[in-house]
Structures are given as structure tokens and as C-alpha cells.
Structure 1
Amino acid sequence: MAVGTNSAAGTGKVVPGLAGVPLVGSLFDLKSDSLGTYLRAQQQHGDLVRITAGPPGMRAELYCVFSPAGAQQVLASDAARFRKDNRFYQEVRESVGNGLLTSQDENYLRQRRLVQPLFTRRRVDGYAEAIAAETAAVITAWGGVPGGIVDVSDEMTHLALRAVARILFGTDVEATAHVVAECFPVITDYVLRRGYSPANVPRQWPTPGNRRAAAAMDELYGVCDRIIAERRRPGAETGAETGTGAGTGAGTGTPGEDLLTLLAAARSAGDGEFDAAELRDQVLIFLLAGHETTATSLCFALHLLARHPEEQDRAREEVSRVLGDRTPGAADLERLPYLTRVLKEAMRLYPAAPVIGRKAVATTRIGEHTVPAGADVILAPWVTHRHPAYWPDPDRFDPERFTPEAEAARPRYAWFPFGGGPRACIGQHFSMLESVIALAMILRAYAFEAVDTEVPVGAGITLRTTGPARCRIRRPDTLS
């Protein structure tokens, strides 16, 4: 698609640059602490900053957009000028396929049309039973942990992976969760190394890193391909066709109701259906995005509450008053407004996608500055979510920032943990459903006290903890 220069693009000011060191610019700062580097760039130079990294001949120039208005322009109003054509997305494509996260143009639109009916609110609400079942299993397992101490990062990753694997694969959850847990860290680390390196050797070369990643991909692909083949064999149970509106897709292991079966049955006259390779691409993206993002939100919601006992008590009181002893369902999301505000504030401080990349395909005016065609563009929810113009005392945990009145008073893109515009996350309702149900059940069962008062983080494909996030847990009825 041809995209022209936007009006007055050439009249903007020169984008200010972050000072680096001779020869390599800010390369080492980005490698050691990219999130801190972006935050410092905004504090020193404002809402659009140029960062250079790498030696001459292999140097990258990053145009970092930190304002809500700029984020809205890149993701929504001028989205056609900013594509997923950078090196990082190419490495993701080559490792976990060209699914909804990485595909573009008509390929993306076709995939979105086929998948969208499986992510309606009514369909997703049917996954509540599976989420509650996996959460109950974690709560039971915690009853015997040594010393009453759990690492909420590890535990929420386990919970989120089990939940998304159960919803995707139904009765095959046991066969997949272990393989995903073993293989995805190897693959994502490989993507990160290659995505942010100034130069890479070909993937086909038999280096130790290439061989480890290839083995992990082979194992993960093999499990997915086997289950997909079983779903598509003649006589296998199938779900309702895309667009029929039948059923709720409970995702609890009932034959014909898991998401993979529904994806395999998705078809339309104009878009056809997914072939086996396309199905695997969608499954891999759902596994990656569907568990790492929710795990991050749950981890930090729990850890923040563990550090703020008054807010924890308030959230627990709401859960007890609304739910009593019953298992929460999808209808309870609207009945737990304070718990929802806790989650939103956790996603503000610790957005699962702390950095979003694009490639400018046309010279574009953003605010007072001009971004040239071909530039690598960085959006950083990590920074925008701390922008002092929209978030007073930005590092303070305060769920009251997300009352309806407070939300209405802020720009739409002051908070965008799920992206936005035509590429907004298709699974955002699923993430909120899982997070609210899991957090409600866990808070009702346990009280939390932080052992590690600070949790170091870094930017991977998603936000990742780089140290422990341990909490001491006790039954609420044992508190004095």
C-alpha cells in the first residue's frame, strides 16, 4: 500500500538526541537497562527523542515516542504509516510463526476475520470455568509450600500457562504445558538476542545458540502439529463454525469445545480456513501472548498488594462481600470494581508489553517533530504510564487512579497495556477475565506479605522479572 507524507511533515523540528558515548552511542545503556534508558530520555528531552546505538555501519536510530497523543497517532490515526517491519518482529516470525501478532496487510485482516468470532465477549466468558479450575489447583498446592513462601512470578506463570493450554487444547493440557514451559524460554531468549544484536550469523549455521533454539522449536512444533492433526482427522469432534454464534466455547476439556478445535473449524466463504501451518502459527502466538502477559499482570498485582496491606484488605473485603464462598464467573467482573482497579494500576506500573516497535514507512509529523521514512519507532508504555503530566506521583501504587471519573479525564493513550488501534490485542477481555477471577480466588484463600520488597525487571518480548518476587502467604482467618 502506498502511503504518502502527511501534511507539514517537513516543517517539524529536529528530534533531540540522547547523549551516548563515542562510536556506540547508547548501545550499552540499552543492553543493561533499556527501560531506564527510555525513561531517562523522556525526562531529559521530552516526548520524542532519538537514541542511537551501535558502531558505525551497524548503527540503529530509534525514534522514541512517549506522549499519549503520539502513541495514538502511531497505533491508530496514522497506523498505516507505521508497520511491523523491524528486525525484532522478523525474528519473532521466524521463531513462532506469522500469526496475529506479526502478520500484516491482507494476511493479517484474513486471520483477524477468522479468529475474531472466537474472541467475542460471550465466547470468552465461557472460559471462566477453566480459569477457576486451574486457579483452585494452585490454591490447593500452596497449602503445603515450605515456610509458606511462594514466588508469585513463577507461580503466576505456571497458572497462566496451565489456563491458556487448557483452553487451547482441552484434555491435551498435560501433554503441552510442560513442553511449552521448557521450550518457550529458550526460544524467547534467542529472539531477543538476535532481535537486538547489530549483526547475526545465519540461523542455519550450527552454532550452540542456533542448535539449542532449533531443538526447542522442533519439540514445540511437534507437540502442536500432533494435536492439530488429531483435531483435523476425519470423525474428530469439531466446534461450531466461525460466525454462527453457537455455544460458548467453555474450554474445559469437553470434546469439540477447546479453542484449537474451534480454530480448526473456523471458515468463511471469503477467507477459507486455516491450513495446518497457519493453525500452528496461531496456537504458538496464543500460547506466548496468552500466558506471559496475564502472568505479568497477576504477579505484580499480588506483589503490589503484598506491599500495601490496606489496599489488600480492601480488595479482599470486596471479594468476600460479592462472592461469599462461591466460585466467581464472568458476570462478577462488573461486581468487583476495586479489584479491577487494582489490576489496571498494576498494568500501569508493570505493563506486560513495556515497549512496542514499529517501522515508519513515510515521513511523518508527530507533534512538533518530524520522523523520517525508514525510521525505527519505539513506543514505551513503561514511560507513558509514568508520564508526570498524566500521572501525579507516578511511581506510587494507587488503584483510585482508575475510577470511571479519573479514567474519563485522561487521554485515551495515557494507558495502553493492550496496544490500540486496528492492531489492539484481540485477547484483552480474556486477559481481564482470567486476571480478575484468579486474583479474587487467591485473595480469598490467602493473605500476602512481601519478602522481596523490590522486584527487578527487564524488557523481553514481554516484561520479565529478573529476580525473585517472593511473598509469605497465610490463611486470612489466621491473621491477628
Structure 2
Amino acid sequence: MPAVRPPGPPGLPLLGSMLDLKRDPLGAYLAAQRDHGDVVRFSAGPPGLRARFYLVFSPEGVQQVLAGQAADFRKENAFYHEIRQSLGNGLLTAQDEDYVRQRRLVQPLFTKRRVDGYADAVATEAAALVERWAAVPDGVVEAADEMSRFALRAVARILFGADVEAAIDVVRTRFPVIGRYVRSRAISPLPLPRSWPTASNREGAAAQRELYRVCDDIIARRAGQRSDDLLGLLAEARGEDGEALDATELRDQVLIFLLAGHETTATSLTFALHLLGKHPEQQRRARAEVMSVLGDGRPPRAEDLAALPYLTMVLKEAMRLYPAAQTFGRRASRACTVDGVDIPAGADVLVSPYVTHRHPEHWEDPERFDPERFTPEREAGRHRYAWFPFGGGPRACIGQHFSMLESVLGLAALLRAFEIEAVDTEVPVASGITLEARGPVRIALTRLG
């Protein structure tokens, strides 16, 4: 069958779909899939500055972009450029030889055996969180803020060990500034040079300087010392020819790990708590499983992951409905065909877990919370790219086992200690660097035991 040019929303004569995308991009993508199919062309912006890009929604098309034809789709779009400018050329943004070299050096630090060794740090932070929540006077906490704090402290402890406190406050306050700055520049049809002294540029530059400073100070303080935390292991990592990461490369990797390692996990945990707080029967089942494994009160361990299959299913379903990487993009390096549709060279191509995870041909009643979708039998019968919160292909997330370990063990510790009820039953979401709650995600806690 010959390839065809894809349809797309008509938009407005002067601005195309710009207003819809600015107001609610995820809603616009869902509507586009419903009305126009699995490969959709968007146009947005005024004449002369109009951006045109393609959304690919079918699992088959996603597989082509991320895996089967991955060499034809590069991380060269405006979004990755802005992350690179703000947070350096780490594993998330590197290309070609830089990426191959970094992946070769870093991969041994993310094997299952190595990641399982990080479980103690997760358990330490989870225990501290339980103690803090137990002292909340009215028993109501804001899950998004709390999970961001927990996930950041866990990943920072794994990265920095004893230096964790030196980094927490700066990272916690500066990363959101960088996130807003990166997104505003990436979606602008004509971003001003970063050197111009606008309020936004000054704020973004100040946040970047503070993040660089705290990482550089810790790296300099460690020079010549051996340590067992992830920063120490990164500093000691060597390739086959003895190559190592220099101080700038170390900082770039640390910043990317801090970003990817805490925001994604925080999103998964926030919405897992929110969903369990709305669905008491699934919460009771998850807690019963946790108590059968951790009922003796001991800290959760890496080997407990295999004994918590239902809790893992809960988290996978939360990541289906609320994937942290709600949309991510590539740029076509040559003209090609995706899912039967022509894609021109140089076109920006986006895939959206948020939309594909709701694809009606692959998910029955897609808005319903149902952890049973992730039994081994049902997973085996589903297309590999119907669910892809960690991406896929050669650029799949290197930290996916760590994210699942942190999420399952952290959630297990909380369910053992508290019964949870959602205060905010409806939580609108928005697109940032990762998926964000647009409003509070409060949960009410009842202490158990």
C-alpha cells in the first residue's frame, strides 16, 4: 500500500493549532488520535514561524520510531537542545560517539545486581518519610510535593552518599526553574538568545549556575578519594582503553541522573497513591500483599521486589495512566515511512505514551484503573509498545530497574504504615519536562498498627 500524507486538525487560519497546544497539549493529542488516526500532522504558529510536526500513536509506529528505524530518528529537536544547554551533554541528550562512549562507561553501574545494592538508601529515606508523615497534625499531605522530596532524597543519597544534604535544597528549588525555562524556550517559535538579559534568561542562568556549583563543589571535594556511592563509581568507571569521565562529564551525568532519577519516580508514586486513595479494594489487596512480605516490620529489601507482584502491577497501571515522560520527540534524519505515512527529512516526530497508553484498540475502557491489566499473561498478549513509560530501543531508559525498585519499595513502606484516602479525587495534569499535576494531590492518612 503506498504511503500517504497524514491528516491533522485544521486549526485557525493564522495560528493553526497553537492555542489548543498551548492550552492543553495532551488533550489536543488525544483528540487528534480519536479524530484523525495514528499518525497526525500538526501545524502551529503564525505564518513565517509556523512549526509542523508529526505525532505517532500506534504501538507499531512507536516501535518503528524508537527501535526498528531508530537510526533515522535523532535527539536533535528543540526540547533536547534546550535540556543540553541547561543541564549539559549527559546520557539523556548525548548523540553518536558521545552517547556510545557514555553508555559504555555508565552501563555497568545500572546492572540489576548493582541497582539492587541501592535498596538500603531507598529504605532509609522511606523510613524517614513514614516517621515524618506520622507526625503530620491533621493527617493530610500533598502527595506530589512529598513524593518529589522522597524521590530526590533517595537518588541524591545514592549519588552523593554522605554529601546528600549539601545538594538537596539547591536541586529541589532550582530544577523546577530549569524545567519551566527549558519548556518555554522549546515551544517558543522564536526563542531569544540566552545571552540577552531578559528576566527569564537571568532566572534560568542563575538556576543553572547554582546547580553547577553544588555538583562541581562535591566533585572537587571527592577528587582522589574512593567512595561506594554512585558518584564515586562514576569517577572510577573506565572503558576498555582506560578512558574515564572528566569533571565536566561527571557533572553532566550527575545532573541528568538527578533530573531523570527523581522526577519520573516522583510522578509514578504520586499517582499510584492518588489512584489507591480512590480505589480502596485495590489498596486493601496491595496492603495485604505488603503485610505478607513485610509484616515483621523489617525494612524492605531488593529481593522483596519479586514477592510483590500485585504492587508492581499497581505501579505499572499508574504509569500507564500517568506516564512521567508523557511525550518525547525525535527528528527524522531522512525521508521515511512510519505506519504507512510519509515523514519528510528534518521533520519533528513525537510519540506520546500518554495517548498510546489509552489507545482504544489496545486498552479496553482505557481510563479505568485496573492493575489486572499487567498480569504476566495479559502483558504477554499485548504489543511491546502499547506500554512504554521508559521508552524503548537503543535509547531506552538505563534506569528503569532502579525506578521500579525505588517505587515498589517506597510504596510498600507507606502502605504498611498508612491507610490512604484521596482528598482531591480529580487531578488535572499538564506537560512540563515530565507530567505534572495541575493542582493539589492531597491524601488523608490513617496510621496503622
TM-score (norm 1): 0.92
Whole-Å Cα distance in 2 between the matches of residues 202 and 290 of structure 1?
30
Whole-Å Cα distance in 2 between the matches of residues 166 and 367 of structure 1?
44
Unaligned runs of 5+ in 1: 1-7, 239-255
1:397 corresponds in structure 2 to 369
Report the aligned-residue RMSD: 0.9
1:201 corresponds in structure 2 to 192
Residue 305 of structure 2 aligns to a residue whose secondary structure is helix
The structural deviation recorded for 1:323 is 1.7
The structural deviation recorded for 1:414 is 0.1
Of all paired residues, the percent bearing the same amino acid is 64
Letter of the structure 2 residue corresponding to residue 314 of structure 1: R
Whole-Å Cα distance in 2 between the matches of residues 326 and 147 of structure 1?
27
2:255 aligned with 1:264, yes or no? no
2:378 corresponds in structure 1 to 406
Letter of the structure 1 residue corresponding to residue 63 of structure 2: Q
> Residue 287 of structure 1 is aligned with which of 255, 258, 261?
258
Whole-Å Cα distance in 2 between the matches of residues 443 and 413 of structure 1?
30
2:300 aligned with 1:309, yes or no? no
The structural deviation recorded for 1:280 is 0.5
Whole-Å Cα distance in 2 between the matches of residues 330 and 65 of structure 1?
36
Residue 440 of structure 1 aligns to a residue whose secondary structure is helix
Letter of the structure 2 residue corresponding to residue 353 of structure 1: A
Conserved? CA contact 1:231–1:264, under 8 Å: no
Whole-Å Cα distance in 2 between the matches of residues 111 and 173 of structure 1?
24
Whole-Å Cα distance in 1 between the matches of residues 111 and 190 of structure 2?
42
2:360 corresponds in structure 1 to 388
Conserved? CA contact 1:167–1:259, under 8 Å: yes
Whole-Å Cα distance in 2 between the matches of residues 476 and 20 of structure 1?
53
Whole-Å Cα distance in 2 between the matches of residues 368 and 181 of structure 1?
44
Letter of the structure 1 residue corresponding to residue 341 of structure 2: H
The Cα offsets for residues 97-153 of structure 1, whole Å up to 9 and x where unpaired, read as: 010000001110000000000000000000000000001101101112131100111
Conserved? CA contact 1:100–1:112, under 8 Å: yes
> Residue 114 of structure 1 is aligned with which of 81, 84, 105?
105
Conserved? CA contact 1:455–1:467, under 8 Å: yes
Give the direction of change, closer, same or farther, for the CA distance of 1:323–1:64 in structure 2 (3 Å limit): same
2:327 aligned with 1:337, yes or no? no
> Residue 37 of structure 2 is aligned with which of 31, 46, 49?
46
> Residue 125 of structure 1 is aligned with which of 106, 112, 116?
116
2:138 aligned with 1:147, yes or no? yes
Whole-Å Cα distance in 1 between the matches of residues 280 and 397 of structure 2?
32
Whole-Å Cα distance in 2 between the matches of residues 19 and 56 of structure 1?
14
Conserved? CA contact 2:134–2:447, under 8 Å: no
> Residue 323 of structure 1 is aligned with which of 280, 284, 294?
294
Whole-Å Cα distance in 2 between the matches of residues 259 and 405 of structure 1?
36
Conserved? CA contact 1:114–1:271, under 8 Å: no
1:249 corresponds in structure 2 to none
2:343 corresponds in structure 1 to 371
2:216 corresponds in structure 1 to 225
Moved over 4 A (4+): none
1:135 corresponds in structure 2 to 126
Whole-Å Cα distance in 1 between the matches of residues 345 and 179 of structure 2?
29
The structural deviation recorded for 1:368 is 2.2
The Cα offsets for residues 317-370 of structure 1, whole Å up to 9 and x where unpaired, read as: 000012212211111111000000000000000001000110011111112211
Aligned residue pairs, count: 448
Conserved? CA contact 1:110–1:271, under 8 Å: no
The Cα offsets for residues 53-108 of structure 1, whole Å up to 9 and x where unpaired, read as: 11111111111000000000000010000001111110000000010000001110
The structural deviation recorded for 1:270 is 3.1
Letter of the structure 2 residue corresponding to residue 317 of structure 1: A
Conserved? CA contact 1:300–1:346, under 8 Å: yes
